[in-house]
Amino acid sequence: MDLMEKIVSLCKRRGFVYPGSEIYGGLSNTWDFGPFGLALRKNIKALWWREFVEKEENILGLDGGIILSPRVWEASGHVENFTDPLVECKSCHTRFRADQLGDTKKCPDCGGQLSEPRRFNGMFRTTVGATEDSNAVVYLRPETAQAIFINFKNIVDSFHPKLPFGIAQIGKAFRNEITAGNFIFRDIEFEQHELEYFLPEAIWEEKYDYWLAKMHDFAKLIGLAPEMVHEREHSPQERSHYSKKTVDLEFDFPFGRKELWGLAYRTDYDLRNHSEKSGVDLKYEGSFPHVIEPSMGVDRTMLAVLCSAYFEDEKRVVLKLQPSLAPYKVAVFPLVANKEELVGKARGIYEKLKKSFMTAWDDRGNIGKRYLSQDEIGTPWCVTVDYQTLEDDTVTIRDRNTTRQERIKVANLETWIKERLV
């Protein structure tokens, strides 16, 4: 099994990620997140919010809609430009992105003849209301950003922030990708953390560098090795229609070096267009603010975190997750499950720790198996209540990465964990 297969298998087995609609044979490129996947994503998103919103000055949050007026996507340029060149095999009817195939005119799957490329819009369309005529067509958002631009006036009217300031959002986005794949790397339904940072044009370069550095810092914080994260600037042909400069942070995934996150300088493109098309004046402090946009997918972040954390040797499989991201921070075990005093004491510690941390309880099988089980889901510390605990009120605490154990006072447990919870 290669590394990706091992990660996919662990994610399924241990309740991180399940294939979408599985009991009906699956629906390609859709995924459901189990209890630990949900916890990991929640922790990633909370850390992002902490770093990009709460620790910054002048960043406000928003939770905009997924279904926006189709006029939003006309004004933003997505109806016209959010397209990829699609070719279809005339024999097996598999579809490919022409720009990813090179010069070949033959189907990579069956050798059949490929059609001429046509522009394929990646937005999901649906209809609102009881009629299905073209007036009822709406799109699921392909980026969270537009909800921010169309609420710009609402936010400034409520808060009167001074430039520069930002509006941040975490939420679902949908893209009808022609070629999705590589597990949760490219899906059709995913989540983004996005920040639209509004500023006077004169300071865009300085702030661009600031947010780029911040993205590198975030990569370190979630446990990605700096030597596996690389900057790549888009060529003018490759840039999105709204961008004047885009730098991707790429990551060395097991299937190659690929885009992890992007940082775009969107100029005043969005506010200017929404202003023109809606007729609502979106100038602020005398002109259209310019925008720097760090855009970071939750799913790709989760995958990079899992790839970085996965470790195995002949004895065990371990997710060396940063403690702040781990679903459980600590697990509590009685040494044996059939000694009432041990179980009672351990339950007491578990109940107490649970109030401060996500805490697991396990009294099945033997201690060795319980350690291995917690290692696989990335629990940083395991506390065992043994006979000595009953004498001197100390427990052993085992470190996931080193497997070393130390004895500490029960009274010090909470502080001990808090001090190490980064």
Q: Is the dihedral of CA 367, 372, 375, 379 positive or negative?
A: negative
Name the minimum Å distance from CB 353 to ligand GAP.
35
Strand order in the sheet with 359-361: 359-361, 330-334, 381-385, 394-399, 405-409
Name the minimum Å distance from CB 300 to ligand GAP.
4
With CB under 6 A as the contact rule, which of the stretches 4-12, 32-40, 213-221, 255-263 interacts with ligand GAP? 255-263
89 in Cβ contact with 107 (< 8 Å): yes
List, as one string, the DSSP characters of 273-302: HHHHHH-----BTTBPPEEEEEEEEHHHHH
298-327 mask for ligand GAP (x: CB under 6 A)?
Answer: -xx---------------------------
Binder of ligand GAP out of 89, 107, 123, 145 (CB under 6 A):
145
Q: Which residues contact 381 (CB under 8 A, 6 or more apart)?
A: 329, 330, 331, 397, 398, 399, 400, 417, 420
272-301 mask for ligand GAP (x: CB under 6 A)?
Answer: ---------------------x-xxx-xx-
Task: Say whether residue 121 binds ligand GAP (CB under 6 A).
Answer: no
Contacts of ligand GAP in 43-82 (CB under 6 A) = none
170-209 mask for ligand GAP (x: CB under 6 A)?
Answer: -----x-x--------xx--x-x-x---------------
User: Closer CB to ligand GAP, residue 124 or residue 361?
Assistant: 124
Number of residues that bind ligand GAP (CB under 6 A): 18
Helix/strand/coil for 212: helix
Bridge partners of 33? 17
Tokens of 151: 């609420």
List, as one string, the DSSP characters of 301-353: HHHHHHHHHEEE-SS-EEE---TTT-S-SEEEEESSTT-HHHHHHHHHHHHHH
Name the minimum Å distance from CB 119 to ligand GAP.
17
Task: Say whether residue 398 binds ligand GAP (CB under 6 A).
Answer: no
| Positions in the binding site for ligand GAP (CB under 6 A) | 143, 145, 175, 177, 186-187, 190, 192, 194, 259, 261-262, 293, 295-297, 299-300
